[in-house]
Structures are given as structure tokens and as C-alpha cells.
Amino acid sequence: MMMGGMSGLGMALLVGFGLLTLVGLIIGVVALVRALSSGPRPVAGEVPAGEPGSRGQRKRMSAGRRSGVLAVLAATLFITGIAGIAVAMTHMGRDMMGMMQGGQSGRSAPAPVSGAPVLPVTATEFAFRPGLVRVQVNQTVNIELINGGGMFHTLTVSDTPFELRAPAGERISGAFRATRPGSYGFICSVPGHAQAGMRGTITVT
């Protein structure tokens, strides 16, 4: 089958930069806690009670420097993560548009059989016409997908290798033959199209 949902690269970028943003937030919280726990800095010349002046000031200055470094690191990671998430979302959006509008004509089905009955099915946004196709058992028919919409569509028969793919304004056929009676569902496999109503049934009697 052709469509596999979101781009693997786009999803990896999204997860990676999301983790980077989370790490930045955690480091930022740690920096804030350290800054608050270190207390107010002493006024110049003031000696904190119970500590030698030079030693206490050095400890406070060291804690302040560490908090500052953590804050800078947190801000860098957070900003980088947010920017990366935006890039990943843009990447996936382009992939989705490409799948909906820029797919190529093709089939994962036998080539049409000369002289076999032709059963045309028109795809639009977002429906198949007709939505019910009737064939006889062991009868070979040529199912023709006619893309009458403005997006890329497929006709994919569930639980079989049969799939037709057509960009907007194009058509393609493939031979279909069922060896036992029953109902075979078909959908457009472009992400979101089946959920929007692009479903149908082939009834074999």
C-alpha cells in the first residue's frame, strides 16, 4: 500500500526537539530553585551572620554563577527545541500535502484484462460514486478509478493487494477477481480521507 501516514523523519524531529524543550524546562526549573535557595546577595561590605565575610561571599557568588549558567543553558535548549518543533511540524505538513495532492498514478493490482467488463468508480472530496459495486464470484472485472476531485486519491480494497492510485483529473484501471462470495470493503488510503467518508463495498455473489 502506498500511504503510511506521517513522515518518519518529521515524527523523529518532532519527538527529538520535544525532548530538548522538556530538558530545557527542567534545567530552567532547577536554575530557578537554586537561585531562590541561595538567598539574597549581601550588600557590599556586609558580612553574613555566622560566616567569615570572604568565605560567605565566595559561596554566594559561586552559587549565583552556577544558577546563571544553568539559566542560559535552559534558555538555549528551550528556544532550540521550540524552533525545532516548528520545523518538524512544517516538514510533516508538507509531507501531508504532498501525499494528498502530489502522489503518482500507479497500481498494486493486475493490469486490466482486455474484454473484461469495466466498473468505473469516481473519487471526489470525500466520497466514492458508486459506493457499492456488485460482481459475480470468479468473474474478472476491470475496476477503473476516476479521480474527479482536486486531491490525490486511491481505491484500496481491504485485506487484498488491490490498490489503484490517481492524481486529480486522472484515471487508472486494474483487474479484480474474487474467488469466493462475500463483501470487500474499499477505501481511499490517503490519511484522513476514509474517515471523511471515502469508503465503499464490493459485493461478490
pTM: 0.54
Given a cut of 70, whether residue 199 has pLDDT beyond it is yes
Confidence of residue 20 (pLDDT cuts 50, 70, 90): confident
pLDDT of residue 123: 96
Q: How many CB atoms within 10 Å of residue 161? A: 10
Share of the chain above pLDDT 70, in %: 72
Q: How many CB atoms within 10 Å of residue 137? A: 12
Give the residue numbers spanning the domain of 113.
106-204
CA quadruple 33, 36, 41, 42: dihedral sign: negative
CATH number, domain containing residue 192: 2.60.40.420
Same domain, 90 and 139: no
Q: Is residue 83 part of a domain?
A: yes
Alpha carbons 56 and 68: distance in angstroms, whole number: 18
Confidence of residue 18 (pLDDT cuts 50, 70, 90): confident
Which of 55-64, 81-90, 146-155 has the least mean pLDDT?
Answer: 55-64
pLDDT of residue 163: 95
pLDDT of residue 174: 96
Which of residues 72, 101, 130 is at a domain's end?
101
Q: Is residue 3 part of a domain?
A: no
User: Domain count of the chain?
Assistant: 2
Same domain, 24 and 110: no
pLDDT of residue 108: 87
Confidence of residue 6 (pLDDT cuts 50, 70, 90): very low
Q: Write phi, then psi, for 199 (nearest 5 degrees).
A: -135, 150
